[in-house]
Amino acid sequence: LNLEQTTKGKGQYDLEYSKCECFWGTDPGKLVRMIPEYLKGGVALDLGAGECKNSVFLSKNGFVVDAVEISELALRNYERITSPKAEPNNKLITTYNSDALLFENNIQYDLVIAYGLLHCLSSIEEVDLIISKMKKWTKLNGIIIVVSFTDMLKVPFAQAYLDATLLPVGYLFNAFSEFDVLQYEEDVISETHPTSNIEHQHSLTRLMVRKIKN
C-alpha cells in the first residue's frame, strides 16, 4: 500500500471522515426523503451507509435498517453524531462494518439503497455484482434506490483522492430494465464539504425502481 491508499482507507473516504465530525451532514438524500410516499415502513438495507444519515431518516419513518459500511471511521462518526442518547430510535439500526460485496444475509428487504456506493467500487464488474445482489435482496414489490456518479464530469480537484468508477450516463437505467421506474434523473450537483470548503460539481444518476417480477 502506498501512503495515499493508506490514508484514503477502505471505501476511499477515511481521510475525510478522520478530519471532521460529520462529512455528509444529517439530511437524507433526495430520493430517500421521498420514500414515505411509496412505503409505510418495513425492513431496509443501506449499502455504503457512511455516517448513516439515510438510515436514521428511515428509522424515523417506520423502517428497521441494516446499515453496511466498510469504513470504521464513518461508523465512528455515526456513533458520535447520532448516539443512542440523542436518537431514541437508534436501536432500529444495526450497523455492519463490512464490505458490501461480501455482506451475506438470507432475508429479503422492502427497501434496498446504495447512495453513493457504486462509484467507490473498483470496477464495472463489481458494480454489476452489487446490482445483482441488490436485486436478489429485494422482495417482490420492494423498492431499490441507487445514486451514483456518472462520467459526464470528471472527479473534481477537491476530491482528487477518489479513484472513482464513473458510470456511463444511462447505465443504471438500463441495468434495471426489468423493474418499474418510479424516479429517474441525470443531474449535476454542486456541493461543498466541511474538510476542503471548495465548491465542486459531480454528475450523477438518481434512480428509484420497484421490483415487479421475481
Ligand X SMILES: C[S@@+](CC[C@H](N)C(=O)[O-])C[C@H]1O[C@@H](n2cnc3c(N)ncnc32)[C@H](O)[C@@H]1O
Residues near ligand X (CB under 6 A) are 11, 13, 24, 29, 48-50, 53-54, 68-71, 74, 99-101, 115-117, 120
Q: Considering the complex, state which of residue 39 and residue 81 has its C-beta at the smaller distance from ligand X.
A: 81
Q: Considering the complex, state which of residue 90 and residue 178 has its C-beta at the smaller distance from ligand X.
A: 90
Q: Considering the complex, state which of residue 181 and residue 189 has its C-beta at the smaller distance from ligand X.
A: 189
Q: Considering the complex, state which of residue 27 and residue 180 has its C-beta at the smaller distance from ligand X.
A: 27
Question: C-beta of 122: minimal distance to ligand X in Å?
Answer: 9
Measured distance CA(114)–CA(134) in Å, rounded: 9
Q: Considering the complex, state which of residue 20 and residue 140 has its C-beta at the smaller distance from ligand X.
A: 20
The residue with cell 456511463 is 168
Question: C-beta of 211: minimal distance to ligand X in Å?
Answer: 21
* Sign of the Cα pseudo-torsion (140, 60, 74, 19, in order): positive
Question: C-beta of 134: minimal distance to ligand X in Å?
Answer: 12
**φ/ψ of residue 61, rounded to 5:** -125, 40
SS3 category, 131: helix
Q: Strand ranges (DSSP E) for the chain? A: 42-47, 63-68, 93-96, 109-115, 138-149, 180-191, 200-210
Q: Considering the complex, state which of residue 35 and residue 117 has its C-beta at the smaller distance from ligand X.
A: 117
Question: C-beta of 112: minimal distance to ligand X in Å?
Answer: 13
Please report the DSSP string for 86-121 in residue order. T-GGGGGEEEE-S-TTT------EEEEEEES-GGGS
Question: C-beta of 14: minimal distance to ligand X in Å?
Answer: 7
Question: C-beta of 140: minimal distance to ligand X in Å?
Answer: 25
Q: Which residue is nearest to ligand X (CB)?
A: 11
